[in-house]
Amino acid sequence: MELRQLTYFVEVARLNNLTRAAERLRVAQPALSQQIGNLERELGVRLFNRTGRGVTLTEAGNAFFFAAEKTLAEAEKAKDVAKGFSKHPIGKVTVGALDSLVQTRLPRMLVAFGQKYPGIKVFIRENTTSPLLESLKKGELDLALAHEWDHQYPQHLERLIPPAGIGSTFLYQDELVLAVAKGHPLETSGTIAISELREESFVSFNEGSGIRSLLYASCVKEGFEPHVRYECASPRMLVAERLGVSVLPRLMAELPGPPISILSLAPPLSRTVSAFFFEGRYLSPASEIFLQYVEQYFRSESTL
């Protein structure tokens, strides 16, 4: 058994597709299939079920997957130790992050991180929670900074449940507020109940957003479904143009830009943001450093 075979197997298992795995590994698909077949013959078990749509792990394959990832992690760790990484932190980390986080808290944190660790390059991939967690599962991201599943609304937030194997660590909580255009009839309310938004049109974050799911769950709890008229990564701009109201993190609502009015919600709504990682999967020293820094930064920020 070779490390190369384990690498091939893990990539196919993550993507559930031989063609895409071959593209990412930059090998010909027949060669990849041959190596997987050799591995199965050596082990004496079938690792994948082949279907017209791709491949899925068998029971034996699923057990082997975690062992294979652990073996590859130890091999990568040994290489980093040999290179003396801890003395000279260099490398790269690919991080998935919420659009709202990139527009508010993340830039300042990245500046501070870059000053402390100039040898580590950080690549940011913006998206909503659901696709971020799926990309993390597939190995396309090292870490994801996303919306934590809210146990208060289990039947409406199922898509936010992290895939099997993904762990998380708490970073911070965001207060959610209602943003309305200047001159909107609700502007003078100060505080607004979700039940009073039954007739409103909403500007929402894109599908897969934790805040969108939380809005939907909160409205359903009051006996109605929100009418989402527009969706985008920056709802604040559309709210200012009188295209609808929006539930946003307070920091995002308070960003510089066209004037809007901000109302508190009753009862209060908030979302939890966590750092997600795949448990048992190797995290490079650069990724480990970034994860530790993110935890410390946001926890110290919340105490200010």
* 91-108 confidence digits (pLDDT tens): 889 999 999 999 999 999
- Is the pLDDT at 281 greater than 80, yes or no? no
Give 284-295 pLDDT, tens digit per residue. 888 999 999 999
pLDDT recorded at residue 144: 96
Give 123-163 pLDDT, tens digit per residue. 999 998 888 988 898 888 999 999 887 655 445 555 556 66
Which structure tokens are listed for 225? Answer: 């479904």
Cα distance between residue 203 and residue 63, in whole Å:
44
Cα distance between residue 298 and residue 113, in whole Å:
12
What percentage of the chain carries pLDDT values higher than 70?
Answer: 91
Which structure tokens are listed for 59? Answer: 């029971």
pLDDT recorded at residue 24: 85
pLDDT recorded at residue 7: 86
pLDDT recorded at residue 158: 55
Confidence of residue 283 (pLDDT cuts 50, 70, 90): confident
Q: Does the pTM exceed 0.75?
A: no
pLDDT recorded at residue 18: 86
- Is the pLDDT at 85 greater than 70, yes or no? no
Q: Which amino acid, 19?
A: T
Ordered structural domains, the chain, with CATH: 3-82 (1.10.10.10), 86-304 (3.40.190.290)
Across all residues in the chain, what is the average pLDDT? 86
Instruction: Sort strands 269-278 and 166-181 into parallel, antiparallel or unpaired.
Output: antiparallel
Give 228-274 pLDDT, tens digit per residue. 999 998 999 999 999 999 999 999 999 999 999 999 998 889 989 99
pLDDT recorded at residue 63: 83
pLDDT recorded at residue 154: 47
Average pLDDT score over residue span 64-90: 71
Give 10-21 pLDDT, tens digit per residue. 888 888 888 888
Contact 139, 11 (CB under 8 A): yes
Q: Using H for helix, E for strand and C for coil, what is the string for the chain?
A: CCHHHHHHHHHHHHHCCHHHHHHHHCCCHHHHHHHHHHHHHHHCCCCEEEECCEEEECHHHHHHHHHHHHHHHHHHHHHHHHCCHHHCCCEEEEEEEEHHHHHCCHHHHHHHHHHHCCCEEEEEEEECHHHHHHHHHCCCCCEEEEECCCCCCCCCCHHHCCCCCEEEEEEEEEEEEEEEECCCCCHHHCEEEHHHHCCCEEEECCCCCHHHHHHHHHHHHCCCCCEEEEECCCHHHHHHCCCCEEEEEHHHHCCCCCCEEEEEEECCEEEEEEEEEECCCCCCHHHHHHHHHHHHHHHHHHCC
- Is the pLDDT at 74 greater than 80, yes or no? no
Residue closest to 270 by CA, chosen among 153, 163, 190, 187: 153
Q: Which of 61-70, 114-123, 223-232, 260-269 has the lowest mean pLDDT?
A: 61-70
Which structure tokens are listed for 81? Answer: 């130790």
Cα distance between residue 216 and residue 269, in whole Å:
12
- Is the pLDDT at 193 greater than 50, yes or no? yes
